[in-house]
Structure 1
């Protein structure tokens, strides 16, 4: 019997990508009240296209719920270098969740926890029971790869993805996916605002994990390293260990969600009417095609 196929959507990643892709060319798709809808319509149309292509039986949309998380409690600099969202985007955060719910998609998010952690916890809750496809733009998700989990990184438009499987990752990186957080601990993440070990870049970080297996493995063998590497790591040991904690996706959120709750729903004329009432005309037209 074929396993259920769960599509896990990184909602905020799709919303940001959709907003900036269209705002860059001045397309905001405003309502008669002047409200921009470009991010919301891009996000929803992207999900609709993904559903058509990937044919999931179940789907969950996971969201970040504000800038403050348990990681910012651990490190003040976490994501502190990110610019504030443009004013035309602010109302679209809530609007996207509302429209998602109106279309019958299940939203998941909680203050203090990132979308990544919900996605990771979903893959853990039903591990072995279902197959997962994660849609995101976040390379951190590579650590979640397993034989039953693949990741579709957004590329161009609504239909082109760079798909990673467990086997592809191991072939390219020479490590297990769950060791990717150890690589991030050494190289840091400029986008997330944590430095790792200053002076150690992606290539060296990967080589260290390929040879010693983990952050702890490198520290246990520190006397074997070149003097310059040893000095950098010893001087930044505290940040190295903190960076590892920040890089690991939390997979132990208590979800307690029956699989049938996130079953993919059929669309009706009512869904089209709801979109038209909110002047989401591009979305309404795409829904018409799906009917």
Structure 2
């Protein structure tokens, strides 16, 4: 392997949903003349090219969720996991397959594994690739990915308006006051309503961060409950099992059984093939000019 590789890992669902809602808020959905919805695919492609221009990777991979909520590994651990998720809009559903046709036109691997989420795919790849000495940049909208930050792994968290927050170990400490290995422990205490991770009732992000910073990690916090207030100690003792379940749910899995060849992920593509796909989807000139 080339030790100087720079690999861009994209959270496919994060990009696609963000692209869909960014373009759909006004009620208008981009369509082809035959009525095929393309607003999310168009936005995804633009974002992907933007980040490729920014990062200048040698390789690019997109990780995907490929399972229903009920078949997720985490749903087997906790029946309520992501139970609040609504079905995607009808206009978005056909674009799940369409966007993979576009990435395939760029010769980009689309990786997923039944039972696992995109985070787990990116976690497995970033861990393996950085262990081989490669620099890895993860682009996602999910703050859970901050647990993957290391000297060789940085994370760009998508924000509105095409902006992002860039995290490496130093900026994570500066902006959020914690180290990468403390990200999951903070989440274990505060929970995550968006994923139905329960956490410890009555403990928010500020208190969770304070407790983990003071004690170092969850294990040492529970070994030193006597140092907490009576009220806090009571909360933590009562919900201990739930807190540790929350940690398990929030921990990105880094050994997903996926087949991957770095050579297949080289950021090189046939411009004619890409332009042909763009023409088929009636993307127009602005994107076509970006692919040569």
The TM tier, using the shorter chain, reads over 0.9
Equivalent pair of 2:151/2:169 in contact (CA under 8 Å): yes
Give 1:130's aligned residue.
134
Give 2:273's aligned residue.
270
Give 1:51's aligned residue.
52
1-structure distance, mates of 2:198, 2:126: 28
Equivalent pair of 1:41/1:280 in contact (CA under 8 Å): no
Give 1:62's aligned residue.
63
Give 1:12's aligned residue.
13
Unaligned runs of 5+ in 2: none
1:32-111 equivalences in 2 (<5 Å) = 32-66=33-67, 67=69, 68-111=71-114
Q: Deviations over 1:44-76 (max 9, x none)?
A: 111012111211000100001132310111111
Give 2:187's aligned residue.
184
Q: CA offset at residue 251 of structure 1?
A: 0.9
Equivalent pair of 2:82/2:195 in contact (CA under 8 Å): yes
Q: Aligned match of 2:283 in 278, 281, 284?
A: 281
Q: Kindly indicate whether residue 32 of structure 2 is the aligned counterpart of residue 31 of structure 1.
A: yes
Structure 1 length as normaliser, TM-score?
0.94
Give 2:245's aligned residue.
242
2-structure distance, mates of 1:222, 1:161: 38
Q: Kindly indicate whether residue 148 of structure 2 is the aligned counterpart of residue 144 of structure 1.
A: yes
SS in 2 for 1:9: strand
1-structure distance, mates of 2:290, 2:148: 34
Q: CA offset at residue 162 of structure 1?
A: 1.4
SS in 2 for 1:126: helix
Cα-Cα RMSD: 1.7
1:165-184 equivalences in 2 (<5 Å) = 165-184=168-187
Give 1:215's aligned residue.
218
Q: CA offset at residue 256 of structure 1?
A: 4.9
SS in 2 for 1:228: helix
Equivalent pair of 1:5/1:132 in contact (CA under 8 Å): yes
Unaligned runs of 5+ in 1: none
Equivalent pair of 2:106/2:269 in contact (CA under 8 Å): no
2-structure distance, mates of 1:275, 1:245: 42
Q: CA offset at residue 2 of structure 1?
A: 7.4
1-structure distance, mates of 2:123, 2:51: 20
2-structure distance, mates of 1:46, 1:201: 32
Give 1:113's aligned residue.
116
Q: Deviations over 1:62-100 (max 9, x none)?
A: 001132310111111111112221111111111112221
Q: Kindly indicate whether residue 283 of structure 2 is the aligned counterpart of residue 260 of structure 1.
A: no
Per the alignment, do residues 162 and 186 of structure 1 end up closer, same or farther by CA in structure 2, a change over 3 Å counting?
A: same
1-structure distance, mates of 2:86, 2:106: 31
Q: CA offset at residue 262 of structure 1?
A: 0.9
Bigger mean CA offset, 120-129 vs 54-63: 120-129
Equivalent pair of 1:122/1:255 in contact (CA under 8 Å): no
Q: CA offset at residue 6 of structure 1?
A: 0.3
1-structure distance, mates of 2:257, 2:94: 30
SS in 2 for 1:134: strand
2-structure distance, mates of 1:280, 1:76: 43
